[in-house]
Structure 1
Amino acid sequence: MTDTLISQNYQKEIASLKSRDKLLLEITSLLTSAKSLDSLLETIVSSLCNVTNSDAGSLYILEGKEKLKFAVALNKSKFIPFKSFTLKISKENIAGYVVLTGAPISFDDVYLIPADSPYKFNSEFDKKFNYKTKSMVTIPMKNRIGKVVGVVQLINKKRDSSILLNSVKDTEQNVISFSEADIEFITLLASQAAIAIERQSLYDGIERLLRGIVESSAKSIESRDKVTGGHSQRIAAYMVVLAKRITKCNEGIFKDKHFSSEEIKELFIAAMLHDIGKIGVREYLLNKQNKLTDNRMEVIRKRIEMQIMHEPSRKEEWEENMKFIEEINIPTYLDDARFKKLMELKEVKIKNYKNEDEPLLMDFEFENLSIRKGNLTEAERKQIEMHVAHSESILSTIPWTEDLSKVPLIAGTHHEKLNGKGYPKGLKGNEIPFGGKMLAVVDIFEALTALDRPYKRAMSIEKALEIIRVEAKNGALDSDIIEFFIHYKCYDVITDEMRKKFTLTAEEILALE
Structure 2
Amino acid sequence: MQNNAFNTVQGLLRRLEQLNAIGASLSGERDITRLLEQILLAAKTITHADGGTLYRMLEDGQTLRFEILRTDSLQIVMGGTSGQPMDFPDVKLVTEAGQPNDHLVAAYAAIHGVTVNVEDVYSQTDAFDFSGTHVFDARIGYRSKSFLTVPMRDHDGKTIGVLQLINAQAPDSHAVQAFSDADQRLVESLASQAAIALSNRMLVTQLEALFESFIGLINLAIDEKSPYTGKHCQRVPVLTMMLAEAVDRTTTGPLADFHLSDKDRYELKIAGLLHDCGKVTTPVHVVDKATKLHTLYDRMGVIDTRFEVLKRDEEIAALRQQLDLRAPLDVHAETDLMARCRARQAAVDDDRDFLHRANMGSEGMSDADVARVNAIGTSNQWRNPDSVQANFLSADEMENLCIHKGTLTAAEREIVNHHIVATIKMLEKLPWPQHLKNVPEFAAGHHERMDGRGYPKGLTRQQMSVQARIMGIADIFEALTARDRPYKSGMKLSQAMRILKEFRDDGHIDPDLHDVFVQQQVYRRYGEQFLNAEQLDEVPC
1:392 and 2:424 are equivalent in the alignment: yes
Show the counterpart of 1:262: 263
Match of 1:110, SS? Answer: coil
Q: How far apart are the structure 2 equivalents of 1:184 and 1:474?
A: 67
CA–CA distance in structure 2, aligned partners of residues 94 and 184 of structure 1? 18
* Offset at residue 355 of structure 1 (A): 3.4
Q: Distance in 2 between matches of 1:432 and 1:52?
A: 51
Q: Aligned partner of 2:483: which letter?
A: L
What corresponds to 1:316 in structure 2?
Answer: 346
Identity of aligned residues (%): 31
Per mean C-alpha deviation after superposition, the further-off stretch among 67-76 and 255-264 is 255-264
Shift of 1:211: 2.8
Q: 2:112 aligns with which of 91, 101, 107?
A: 101
* Corresponding residue of 1:77: 73
The answer for the alignment partner of 2:217 in structure 1 is 216
1:333 aligned residue (364, 369, 374): 364
SS in 2 for 1:400: coil
- Please state whether the residue corresponding to 2:144 is helix, strand or coil: coil
AA of the residue aligned to 1:259: L
Equivalent residues in 2 for 1:264-303, closer than 5 Å: 264-293=265-294, 294-303=297-306
**What is the identity, as a one-letter code, of the residue corresponding to 2:158?**
K
Alignment match of 2:17 (pick from 14, 22, 42): 22
Superposed displacement of residue 137, structure 1 = 1.4
AA at the equivalent of 1:468 = L
Distance change in 2, residues 1:125/1:161 (3 Å): farther
| 1:86 equivalent in structure 2 | 90
In structure 2, do the counterparts of structure 1 residues 196 and 162 end up closer, same or farther at CA, with 3 Å as the change threshold? farther
Q: Which amino acid aligns with 2:440?
A: P
Contact 1:229–1:452 (CA<8 Å) still a contact in 2? no
Structure 1 Cα separation of the partners of residues 269 and 226 of structure 2: 20
For the residues of structure 2 that align with 1:158 and 1:403, how far apart are their CA atoms?
42
Match status 1:49 vs 2:37: no
Q: After TM superposition, give the deviation of residue 459 of structure 1 in Å.
A: 1.5
The answer as to 2:420 corresponding to 1:368 is no
Kept in 1: contact 2:247–2:513 (CA 8 A): no
CA distance in 1 between partners of 2:357 and 2:168 (Å): 84
* CA apart distance, 1:474: 1.2
Q: Is the 8 A contact 1:228 1:452 kept in 2?
A: no
In structure 2, the CA distance between the partners of 1:143 and 1:425, relative to structure 1 (3 Å rule), is closer
| Number of positions where the alignment pairs a residue of Structure 1 with one of Structure 2 | 485
Q: What do residues 143-168 of structure 1 show as CA deviations (whole Å, max 9, x unaligned)? A: 334332221100011123785xxxxx
Q: CA deviation at 1:276?
A: 0.9
After superposition, what is the alpha-carbon deviation per residue over 1:54-101, rounded to whole angstroms, capped at 9, x for unaligned? 000111121122111211221111233433453211223221111122
Segments of 5+ residues of structure 2 without an aligned counterpart are: 80-84, 94-100, 316-340, 534-541
Change (3 A) 1:99 1:428: closer
The worse-fitting range, judged by mean Cα deviation, of 18-27 and 255-264 is: 18-27
1:164-190 residue CA offsets vs partner (Å, 9 max, x unmatched):
xxxxxxxxxx21112233223222222
TM-score, normalization by structure 1: 0.89
Where do 5+ consecutive residues of structure 1 fail to align? 164-173, 502-513
**One-letter identity of the residue aligned with 2:384:** N
- CA distance in 2: counterparts of 1:341 and 1:249, whole angstroms: 53
Alignment match, 1:134: 145
In structure 2, what is the equivalent of residue 342 of structure 1?
A: 373
Pairwise CA distance, 1:239: 1.7
Looking at structure 2, the residues matched to 412 and 281 of structure 1 have their Cα atoms a distance apart, in angstroms, of 16
Q: CA deviation at 1:377?
A: 0.6
CA distance in 2, matches of 1:142, 1:353: 80
RMSD: 2.2
Shift in Å, 1:403: 2.2
Deviation sequence 1:262-303 (CA, Å, 0-9, x none): 222222222221111111211110011000124422222222
Tell me the amino acid that sits aligned with residue 261 of structure 1.
Answer: D
1:81-480 counterparts in 2 under 5 A? 81-82=78-79, 83-84=85-86, 86-89=90-93, 90-114=101-125, 116-117=126-127, 119-123=129-133, 124-160=135-171, 163=174, 174-293=175-294, 294-312=297-315, 313=341, 314-331=344-361, 332-347=363-378, 348-480=380-512
Give the alignment's TM-score, normalised by structure 2.
Answer: 0.84
Which structure has the bigger radius of gyration? Answer: 2
Larger mean CA deviation between 328-337 and 313-322 belongs to 313-322
- Residue pair 1:36, 1:204 contacting (<8 A) in 2 also: no
* 1:34 shift after superposition: 2.0
Which piece of structure 1 moves more, 446-455 or 302-311?
A: 302-311
Change (3 A) 1:219 1:495: farther
